[in-house]
Structure 1
Amino acid sequence: MTNFIPIFPLGIVVYPGEQLNLHIFEPRYKQLIKECFDNKKPFGIPPVIDDKMNDTGTLVRVMEITNVYEDGKMDIKTEGLQVFNILESIKELPEKLYSGAIVNYPANAESGNRALMLTIVAAIRELHKLLKITKEFKKPDNELWSYDVAHHAGLSLAEEYELLQLLQELQRQEYLKRHLKRVLPIIAEMETLKERVQMNGHFKNLKGFDI
């Protein structure tokens, strides 16, 4: 299917199924959000990376406008729906402040390997443990898929975008697996190094070695 959507380029990657809170303050996007909410129509968020708008993004719907300020600024709740590809950007629209795009929606195979997914979840929990942070998933472990955990895996913005471009769940799982396999030993070594540095310069109660 091909159609026209309003677009809201942002320096983030949004995944299908993700719920995202946004603060809207620019006049063009206040207009976009009000129209989409009133007409129950979605809009697109194409990620902006290194000052460049990318062609793959996520269709998003406005779930709720939670607050409207006196100056028209808004707090909103949104939900990611599906991945799109931009075929043509339309910078200027009649009587609109915002831009739009002609897009299509590539097939997205969302069935993956459950055992592999549980391994990925365990690795992400290990990463959080090493980093001494606490983040809870919004679903039970046996219901999680790659989109649910991608923001928890320590990916850069460019890496999150690479994952968005993968249109098979198994590909996304393998991507996360390779990433975690690469970063976990680095983080573990950094933690060991940190402990060694903290010990240096302090009195130590060390037991002698009997020869």
Structure 2
Amino acid sequence: MSELPLFPLGAVLLPGGRMSLRIFEPRYLDLVKRCGRSGEGFGICLILAGREVGEPAIPATHGTEAVIVDFSMTEEGLLGLTVEGRRRFHVEHTRVRDDGLVLGDVRWLDEPGPATLRDEHALMSVLLARIMDKAGLDHEGPGKGDLADAAWVGWRLAEWLPLEATERLELLQLADPHERLQRLVERLPDFQAE
């Protein structure tokens, strides 16, 4: 078990994914200062009840460790952060500090070792390559490099396909990258234009 400050959001951060945040509440400004000094991360969890601003929100029991990779000042004079998702965790218990920051006792979830895409999911690598081409992102080609890694392909598709936040949370909870890809395969017909 580890104690981890939690940042409840209306979005899900996935392992390897990046997210931009605007920080203005004192509890989160203090959190960012501490993380900046220590190099430690904080947890991002989907909000189940409440709002991102104001009273502490109730976070989902699963989340992703966020590590700060860049920061800047926004046009509004707010602190802007870019965070990257690292390890998945399960929240066992939460408590709220006097300043409103939610702390969680978390259990880090085991990640399976590298897994090559199965033949039945090869199309997912092709789909992701096309998405990356449209976004102007370099890659080695379908079925090569990261595009051959079942976990990486699943996380990126879960991040970039038009899924609801609750669907991303469900995918975050799955340990098996092949099961995650299969769930995405089953959703593909819903994304096709009529």
Task: Tell me whether the two structures share a fold, i.e. TM-score over 0.5.
Answer: yes
CA separation of 1:183 and 1:113: change in aligned 2, threshold 3 A: farther
Q: Which residue of 2 aligns with 1:205?
A: none
CA separation of 1:70 and 1:113: change in aligned 2, threshold 3 A: closer
Q: Does 1:99 align with 2:106?
A: no
Cα-to-partner distance string for 1:10-51 (whole Å, 9 max, x where unaligned): 111101111222111122111111111112111000111464
Q: Does 1:66 align with 2:69?
A: no
Question: Which among 110, 119, 123 is matched to residue 119 of structure 1?
Answer: 123
The one-letter code of the counterpart of 2:155 is Y
Structure (1 or 2) with the larger CA radius of gyration = 1
Q: Which residue of 1 aligns with 2:55?
A: none
Distance 1:173 1:113 in 2: 12
TM-score (ref. length: structure 2)? 0.78
What RMSD, in angstroms, separates the aligned Cα atoms of the two structures?
Answer: 2.7
Identity of aligned residues (%): 24
CA separation of 1:138 and 1:7: change in aligned 2, threshold 3 A: farther
Cα-to-partner distance string for 1:158-205 (whole Å, 9 max, x where unaligned): 11111001011111111111111x314xx33x2xxxxxxxxxxxxxxx
The CA deviation at 1:156 is: 1.3
Structure 2 segments unaligned to the other structure (5+ residues): 51-57
CA separation of 1:69 and 1:123: change in aligned 2, threshold 3 A: closer
Cα-to-partner distance string for 1:86-144 (whole Å, 9 max, x where unaligned): 01001125xx5522110001212253342444311334678x7xxxxx43556444313
Contact 1:45 1:59 in 2 (8 A): yes
Contact 1:24 1:75 in 2 (8 A): yes
Question: Which among 174, 190, 194 is matched to residue 183 of structure 1?
Answer: 190
Question: Which among 162, 171, 174 is matched to residue 182 of structure 2?
Answer: 174
TM-score (ref. length: structure 1)? 0.73
Q: Which residue of 1 aligns with 2:168?
A: 160
| Structure having the larger proportion of residues in strand | 2
Q: Which residue of 1 aligns with 2:135?
A: 135
For the residue of structure 2 that corresponds to 1:8, the secondary structure is: strand
Contact 1:153 1:176 in 2 (8 A): no
Q: Across the two proteins, how many residue pairs are aligned to each other?
A: 177
